[in-house]
Amino acid sequence: MKVALSNNYAGNSWRQAMLKSWAEVADPAVKAGVVAAAPTFTTAENQATEQAQQIQNLILQGYKAIAIDAASPTALNGVIKQACAAGVTVVTFDGIATEPCAYRIAVDFHQLGSMQIDYMAKRLNGKGNLLEIRGLAGVSVDDEIHRGIVDEIKKYPGLKIVGSVHGDWTQTVAQKQVAGILPTLPKIDGVVDQGGDGYGAANAIKEAGRPTPIIILGNRQEELAWWAQQHKSGGYETLSVTIPPGCSTFAFWVTQQLLAGKKLPHDIRMPLMAVTSDDLDAVLAKTPSGGIANKLYTRDEVTKIVDAK
């Protein structure tokens, strides 16, 4: 049976690594006869209407399962319902969809937001000004991380978000947006974000002649290299955490197992990937230039995580 990956966006290093991860696991699975085919399809404009048309085409082309990184939590529900009615297994991951017939694989993005605030509260003794860098507007991932930040900061009245921009999970966009808002902001003690934006924020702050605050990073190689250099020269400490791009391999094996007849829950959690100063050097050594720290999942690992839940 044929499996397809429908992806809404590939404009940053995380998404490119996600697609590459899928191929690194799916291509050998095709050669081994585990599935008949497993190509990827990415929309050009990050539009839900375009992705819905793409999914309709995949249904007509006879794919028995479609893994979807969705442009919207709700805008694809109609076409997903059509797919289910046609006997197609639908697995959404990273950007999930709320249609009940679909399976959903997500990390706790709300926790990804709240853990950043808890880290800042600990480092800043509960007092300080924070800049928030959000992701792609309208995508469920952005909404959930933001909600985690907003909910958790209520516990710390001494912490205040003094500015917010959308960095689109992309270093260059984040750098431009941060540079634009900095002149309007007071002293920044910390930056909370969503991944792909930390290094851009660091560059913008440096170019503005401001001291480097605590910036949460998102496991990109250039971020980890910057952190290692800052740590070596001045003992800089922070936290780097995100969902690994290899979540696509987790989704591949969930999809394959469903086609093989395994009964799975419709809502599945997978773990975050965090890097601390203790393992920074080891992780950086394994992360290619321009890439992102990653984990590829095996079928056994996926079934073990799901069965344990």
Q: Is the dihedral of CA 70, 72, 73, 75 positive or negative?
A: negative
Within this chain, do residues 212 and 253 fall inside the same structural domain, yes or no? no
Q: Inter-axis angle of helices 13-31 and 247-259, to 10 degrees?
A: 40
Q: State residue 271's pLDDT score.
A: 86
- Spatial contact of 71 and 46, defined as CB atoms under 8 Å apart: yes
CA atoms of 49 and 219, how far apart (whole Å): 31
Residue 278 lies in a domain: no
CATH code at position 15: 3.40.50.2300
* Residue 287 structure tokens: 């992360």
* Residue 248 structure tokens: 């696509």
Within this chain, do residues 237 and 250 fall inside the same structural domain, yes or no? no
H or E stretch at 256: helix 247-259
* Residue 15 structure tokens: 């998404």
Our count of domains for the chain comes to: 2
Residue 285 lies in a domain: no
Nearest alpha carbon to residue 287 among 217, 204, 215: 217
The boundaries of the domain holding residue 100 are: 3-107+244-271+293-308
Within this chain, do residues 100 and 249 fall inside the same structural domain, yes or no? yes
Q: State residue 28's pLDDT score.
A: 98
What number is the average pLDDT over the span 220-226? 95
Q: State residue 120's pLDDT score.
A: 98
Segments of the chain assigned E as strands = 3-7, 40-42, 65-69, 89-93, 103-106, 128-134, 159-166, 190-192, 214-215, 240-242, 267-269, 273-275
- Categorize the per-residue pLDDT at 8 as very low, low, confident or very high, splitting at 50, 70 and 90: very high
CA atoms of 176 and 56, how far apart (whole Å): 37
List all residues 6 or more positions away from 163 whose beta carbon is below 8 Å from its beta carbon: 131, 132, 181, 184, 185, 188
- Spatial contact of 89 and 255, defined as CB atoms under 8 Å apart: yes
Q: Between these two residues, 122 and 13, which has the higher pLDDT value?
A: 122
Within this chain, do residues 174 and 254 fall inside the same structural domain, yes or no? no
pLDDT digits (tens, 9 = 90+) for 96-108: 999 999 999 988 8
Q: State residue 54's pLDDT score.
A: 96
Within this chain, do residues 8 and 131 fall inside the same structural domain, yes or no? no
Within this chain, do residues 121 and 171 fall inside the same structural domain, yes or no? yes
User: Could you give the C-alpha distances from 302 to 19, 118, 195, 221, in angstroms and in order?
Assistant: 18, 29, 24, 26
Nearest alpha carbon to residue 102 among 85, 121, 127, 126: 85
Residue 76 lies in a domain: yes
Beta bridge partners of 241: 274
